[in-house]
A and B are shown apart, each in its own frame.
Chain A
């Protein structure tokens, strides 16, 4: 389904959902995951001590997800996973700085 291809691979494999699923079930699964959220889980893409990229990657993924789902006019609830993860991992001052940069148009990442 087209819906599947737009999601980042990490989220799909974390949910154990590489196979075909209807959009409704996927949203329900994400909702359950969000309700049971404790803290950012182990991410095999960042197995070592340096977690800088983990924070950066989730911040970017949230804003990219939000931008693309907004453009399609769809519900951005699935993007909230990335938001919870970056909120857990990233220092508040970094998030503030990046939010300000995005507003000014000087944000260095590609969204």
Chain B
């Protein structure tokens, strides 16, 4: 989850998010190096005491500052396209869950075997117990097995919403009448938070997404309990 004064991304909890994180580090390093070099050159030129009035052109430097940027761009494009195609890989999900956006809560449906569906409302600030996170906790979490490919089909029952979990690298719009597919694998057990990412009315900021990844046997126990309770 996010923490105060955070500068970078949240810790990755899925292989795709790890790739995105590393690519971002790579691209940002290139950007910082170029900006530093340009800033240095500007300062050097502005503060220089001497001038050379006879320099007209130079083929050598023209070649260098054309070819080098082209190479740098290729070094950015190749990892970028690799990740783009990685995202579109055909995977074979073990489980399908539907996440439906409402004003102002999410509902989750697990219907591969039996009809399990439940709502997930934010826990109001006054009802939080010590240690819980303000505006992020929900009464019922979306529980999934760890290290299994999961397919989430996202839609909405009223207005536009968006289902986002930054640590998994997922953000998908919830459009009424449409089913948008996202697939991911959670690499480690844990609780991962996100917030509705499309303005949807008064309580848009108060309908969080909470995903809990647990070992498979825990998941099976949880789903049996949920079906009994329903």
Identify the A interface with B (CB < 8 A): 37-42, 47-52, 54-55, 84, 87-93
Asked whether A51 lies within 8 Å of B92 as measured between CB atoms, the reply is no
Selected interface stretch from B1-9, B18-26, B93-101: B93-101
Which residues on B sit within 8 Å (CB–CB) of A51? 153, 179-181
Q: How close is A86's CB to chain B, nearest CB, in angstroms?
A: 9
Which residues on A sit within 8 Å (CB–CB) of B109? 91-92
Q: Kindly state the separation between the CA atoms of A48 and B98 in the bound complex, as whole angstroms.
A: 17
Flag whether B117 is at the interface (Cβ < 8 A).
Answer: yes
- Which 5 pairs across A and B sit closest by C-beta, in order of nearness? A51-B179, A39-B96, A52-B179, A88-B96, A51-B181
Asked whether B90 lies within 8 Å of A89 as measured between CB atoms, the reply is no
Q: Kindly state the separation between the CA atoms of A48 and B89 in the bound complex, as whole angstroms.
A: 10
CB-contact partner of A38 in B112, B157, B182, under 8 A: B112
Q: How close is A8's CB to chain B, nearest CB, in angstroms?
A: 20
Task: Return the chain A residue nearest B100 by Cβ.
Answer: A91
Which residues on A sit within 8 Å (CB–CB) of B224? none
Q: How many residues of B contact A (CB 8 A)?
A: 25
Known: A38-B95, A52-B179. 8 other contacts (CB 8 A): A39-B112, A39-B151, A40-B93, A42-B90, A52-B178, A88-B111, A93-B100, A93-B157
Which residues on A sit within 8 Å (CB–CB) of B111? 87-88, 92
Identify the B interface with A (CB < 8 A): 90-96, 98, 100, 109, 111-112, 115, 117, 151, 153, 155, 157, 172, 177-182
Which residues on B sit within 8 Å (CB–CB) of A93? 100, 157
Chain A binding surface, main DSSP class:
loop
Q: Kindly state the separation between the CA atoms of A89 and B95 in the bound complex, as whole angstroms.
A: 11
Q: Kindly state the separation between the CA atoms of A37 and B180 in the bound complex, as whole angstroms.
A: 22
Q: How close is A33's CB to chain B, nearest CB, in angstroms?
A: 14
Provided the pairs A49-B180, A52-B177 are in contact, do residues A42 and B91 lie with their beta carbons within 8 angstroms? yes
Task: Return the chain B residue nearest A41 by Cβ.
Answer: B92
Which residues on B sit within 8 Å (CB–CB) of A84? 112
Q: How close is B55's CB to chain A, nearest CB, in angstroms?
A: 55
Which residues on A sit within 8 Å (CB–CB) of B112? 37-39, 84, 87-88
Which residues on A sit within 8 Å (CB–CB) of B98? 91
Provided the pairs A38-B94, A38-B112, A42-B90 are in contact, do residues A89 and B153 lie with their beta carbons within 8 angstroms? yes
Asked whether A91 lies within 8 Å of B95 as measured between CB atoms, the reply is no
Which residues on A sit within 8 Å (CB–CB) of B179? 50-52, 54-55, 89-91
Q: How close is A99's CB to chain B, nearest CB, in angstroms?
A: 13
Query: Can you identify 25 A-B contacts, CB atoms within 8 angstroms?
Result: A38-B94, A38-B95, A38-B112, A39-B96, A40-B96, A42-B91, A42-B92, A47-B90, A49-B180, A49-B181, A50-B181, A51-B179, A51-B180, A51-B181, A52-B177, A52-B179, A54-B179, A87-B115, A88-B111, A88-B112, A89-B153, A89-B179, A91-B100, A91-B155, A91-B179
Task: Return the chain A residue nearest B182 by Cβ.
Answer: A49
Which residues on A sit within 8 Å (CB–CB) of B178? 50, 52
Q: Kindly state the separation between the CA atoms of A54 and B98 in the bound complex, as whole angstroms.
A: 14
Q: Kindly state the separation between the CA atoms of A38 and B145 in the bound complex, as whole angstroms.
A: 14
